[in-house]
Amino acid sequence: MLVSVLVILYSCDPTDIKLPTFEPQYIFPLINDQFTFDDITFISTANISESDDGTLIFTHLSEQDTLRVFDQFDIPDAQFDFEIPGISGLIDPFNFNFRISSQDIGIESETIPFLPAIDFPESSQTFNISEFQELNIQDGQLILRIDNNLPIAISEGFVIELKNNDGTVAISHTAQVGLPIGSSEEIVIDLANRTFNFPISTKVSNLSTLGGSNLIFDESSSIKMELSFENILLSSAIVLSERFQVATDFQLPIRFPNNAFITALKLRNASIDLIKQSGFDLPANLVVTFLDGRNNINEPLQFNGSLNQTQQAFDLNDAMLRLEAGELLNLNVSLDLDVQSPLRIEFNRPFNFEMKMSDITPKFISGHLGLFGGRIQSGLEIGLFDRIQSGNISFDGISATINLNHNMGIRSAVNENDDITFAGRNPRLSPGVTVDIGEQIRGLGLVKVSSQEEIESTKFEVEALDDFLSILPSDIQLSIPWEIGTRFVDTTQFLSKESFLTGQLEVAIPIRIDAKELIISDTIDFVFEPDVSFLEFVDGTFNYFLSSSFPLELKPQVIFLDSSFQVLDSLFILDRTIAPAKIVDGVIQEPSVVQFATNINEAKFRNLKKTHFAIPTFEMSSLGDGHISVRSDFNIDLDITADINTQIDVDK
């Protein structure tokens, strides 16, 4: 083997041999594209139906938007202040009496011919009020009344003192004048800001009489004193009490939105904050009872708190509340003081609370819900033609239906005062072209009220849709207003957590089109330059085969573009027209079949070498007036082949 190879190579070095220029001819497919009705449109055959007159009807449902109506019913926080009454600080008048009789100085009932001046010994007595240990008086009077029932006059200068339990003098009064026989004197002492500790003792000193004669003493001969505390307003007191209770009723108003009149709320959860605004420390329990509420085990709904904490939070999970007059929660608040005597009461610092009910999330609501609503945001792809580049196309008799579906057991409607809005862009058109749309449908009279739990359908003819469909949008954002509830009080309404509202738009478009210079195109990645240096293009032909069953006149063309979508060349220099296919009674009788050949010379080939994209286009126009029914089996089959002569020069 080695020898034979050596023989050959010795005789001739193959690499030194000049090979001839070969001229191979190639024929091969370039483009095989179909423009079927299904391909040209986004319409799937599942959405196509045939009407009585044979017209195809494209029915398209928008995306369905679902919302839970419950989430739309927002219960606001409720808040109110209350003050616990019943500890006013006003106490009833009370008095103490004591008496100094003649027997105290050794004089019995008798007639004494002459009596010299007498100094009475000091006299003390103790008084008490069982409920109080200490009184701090904000305002009030002490009235000291002295009756001289002795048969002799009392000299001035006697002193009356009230002493607290600790021996300090609370009040001291010195008489400036004497008391004649049978006279009385009343002295008023202001008690503001005075403090008394019980028991209180009285002390009378420096009491004396002038002398006299023929004085008749009997059993009633005495000096009588009375201490009356009147109009007493306490600032504070130390009370000796075993138990006391204070209770009162309040009403907590909840203002619902939408003029709702809610008779009952079943709560998923809610929180109550009890905030102490003022009040002294008092070791008492605070009990708040919802008079018309039940907890999750159907017991009376109440919570207990401490009176001394500034803020306390409570849950009302799974509570059931009934409301009076559609908005009022009836509460009972009580204080229950059980032990801890003696107890200091500060009457000038009343208990004042703020109660806040927040984060109210209901499970269901009974009552008149009022009217509330929103917008269903949905999407719709209604672009009919995928490969439309430009042109005009109009449709016949488009109708749209709004479907609302709910399971709330209450009335719903499309908001009569609002408009259905559409907005969208179409990036699917030929590269670099987008179309923005914004459309509103006004005054359609869409109100349709029903209490049935069924799909509500409102069908309407939409001429306005035709406007934006004519520019062939693709992605459309759809906004459907909705309204729920009634304008009148109907307490049989309710909302539950399973209350959903769904909405979508259904568009029916009869495929009867009137096309004017409607350009359908397709963009194909297309590279024509051979990737071998020794293969050279000489000349050739592009053969164009087309079969169309569209009943529209076609003007075909193929545009060649470079990588930046700049047009390099086109296949046909002159316009070519392809007659419509013959359709009889909607049946294709004879498709249009044509074949064109285009010479590709070297200059054209130089242009084609830069091609990155080829765009076959068809300008479609209806012949005559009127709309043409389009069938799903309409199509265009396009084949383009290359038949080229080349040269292979391996020396290159």
Partner 1 sequence: MKKRLTIIIFCLFIGNVQAQHNLQLQYGYRGGLAASRFLPSTFDMKEKSFSLETNFNVYFSNRAINYESFRTVSASKELSNQDIDQFLVNLNNRNTLTVGQDFLLLGVGFRTKINKSFFNWGVTLTDRAAVHLIYRKSLFELLLRGNRPFAGQTIELSPELRGRYFREIALNNTFKIKKSKNLGITFGYQLKYYWLLAGVFLENANLDFFTEETGRSLNIDYDYVYFSSGINDFSLTNSKGNGLGLSLGTTFEWQNRLAFDVAVNDLGAITFKKDVAIVKDSESFTFEGLDGEGLKNVNAVTDSISALIENEEVLQQSFRRPVGTQLLLQLSYQFTDYSSKENPTRFYLTYIQGFNEQPGISTNPRVIIAAHTRLFKSIYFGLNTAFGGLNPLAIGGLVGIRIRNLRFSIQSDDFTGFILPSKGTGIGLGFTFRYSK
Residues that bind partner 1 (CB under 8 A): 1-4, 7-8, 11-12, 14-35, 39, 387, 522-526, 533-534, 543, 545, 614, 616, 639-643, 646, 648, 650-651
CA 417 distance to own-chain centroid: 23
Collect all residues with Cβ–Cβ distance below 8 Å to 438 and sequence separation of at least 6. Answer: 421, 422, 423
In contact, 381 and 507? CB cutoff 8 Å:
no
Q: Minimal distance in Å, beta carbon 10 to partner 1? A: 10
Short-list 472, 508, 632, CA closest to 62: 508
Query: What distances in angstroms separate CA 45 from CA 42, 85, 465, one per listed residue?
Result: 10, 78, 22
Residue placing its CB nearer to partner 1 in the complex, 19 or 188: 19
Provide the 3-class DSSP secondary structure of residue 606. Answer: helix
Residue placing its CB nearer to partner 1 in the complex, 41 or 479: 41
Q: Minimal distance in Å, beta carbon 62 to partner 1? A: 27
Residue placing its CB nearer to partner 1 in the complex, 14 or 626: 14
Which run of H or of E encompasses 3? Answer: helix 2-11
CA distance 147 to 241: 36
How does 437-473 read in b/e, with b if 16+ C-beta sit within 10 Å?
A: bebebeebebeeeeeeeeebebeeebebbeebbeebb
DSSP state for residue 105 in the 8-state scheme = G
Q: Minimal distance in Å, beta carbon 423 to partner 1? A: 29
Q: Minimal distance in Å, beta carbon 405 to partner 1? A: 38
Collect all residues with Cβ–Cβ distance below 8 Å to 342 and sequence separation of at least 6. Answer: 133, 238, 239, 240
Q: Minimal distance in Å, beta carbon 372 to partner 1? A: 48
Q: Minimal distance in Å, beta carbon 548 to partner 1? A: 15
Q: Phi and psi (nearest 5°) for 226?
A: -135, 125
Q: Minimal distance in Å, beta carbon 266 to partner 1? A: 55
Residue placing its CB nearer to partner 1 in the complex, 152 or 636: 636
Q: Minimal distance in Å, beta carbon 386 to partner 1? A: 9
CA 278 distance to own-chain centroid: 34
CA 282 distance to own-chain centroid: 40
Residue placing its CB nearer to partner 1 in the complex, 516 or 652: 652
Q: Phi and psi (nearest 5°) for 602?
A: -65, -35
Q: Minimal distance in Å, beta carbon 469 to partner 1? A: 23
Residue placing its CB nearer to partner 1 in the complex, 291 or 535: 535
Secondary structure string (H, E, C) spanning 615-650: EEEEEEECCCCCCEECCCCCEEEEEEEEEEEEEECC
Q: Minimal distance in Å, beta carbon 264 to partner 1? A: 60
Collect all residues with Cβ–Cβ distance below 8 Å to 102 and sequence separation of at least 6. Answer: 108, 109, 150, 217, 221, 222
Residue placing its CB nearer to partner 1 in the complex, 503 or 616: 616
Torsion 286-290-291-293 (CA) sign: negative
Q: Looking at the DSSP assignment, which residues form a beta bridge with residue 244?
A: 337
Residue placing its CB nearer to partner 1 in the complex, 268 or 612: 612
CA distance 43 to 49: 11
Q: Minimal distance in Å, beta carbon 652 to partner 1? A: 9
Q: Which pair of tokens denotes residue 417?
A: 């005062």
Short-list 148, 144, 145, 146, CA closest to 102: 148
The edge-to-edge listing of strands for the beta sheet with 159-163 is: 123-127, 200-205, 159-163, 169-174
CA distance 58 to 631: 11
Q: Minimal distance in Å, beta carbon 560 to partner 1? A: 13
Provide the 3-class DSSP secondary structure of residue 175. Answer: coil
Q: Minimal distance in Å, beta carbon 385 to partner 1? A: 13
Tell me the one-letter amino acid at 263: T
**Tokens 């309409």 correspond to what residue?**
634
Residue placing its CB nearer to partner 1 in the complex, 382 or 638: 638
Q: Minimal distance in Å, beta carbon 558 to partner 1? A: 12
Residue placing its CB nearer to partner 1 in the complex, 14 or 432: 14
Residue placing its CB nearer to partner 1 in the complex, 62 or 426: 426
Residues listed for the chain: 652
Residue placing its CB nearer to partner 1 in the complex, 255 or 652: 652
Residue placing its CB nearer to partner 1 in the complex, 26 or 94: 26
Q: Minimal distance in Å, beta carbon 474 to partner 1? A: 17
Q: Minimal distance in Å, beta carbon 577 to partner 1? A: 23
Provide the 3-class DSSP secondary structure of residue 177. Answer: coil
Residue placing its CB nearer to partner 1 in the complex, 32 or 589: 32
Please, is 19 exposed, middle or buried when counting C-beta atoms within 10 Å of its C-beta (0-12, 13-18, 19+)? Answer: exposed
Provide the 3-class DSSP secondary structure of residue 367. Answer: strand
Radius of gyration of the chain measured on its C-alpha atoms: 54
Provide the 3-class DSSP secondary structure of residue 37. Answer: helix
CA distance 146 to 308: 47
Residue placing its CB nearer to partner 1 in the complex, 332 or 645: 645
Residue placing its CB nearer to partner 1 in the complex, 39 or 318: 39
Q: Minimal distance in Å, beta carbon 647 to partner 1? A: 11
Residue placing its CB nearer to partner 1 in the complex, 35 or 494: 35
CA distance 373 to 194: 66
In contact, 611 and 548? CB cutoff 8 Å:
no
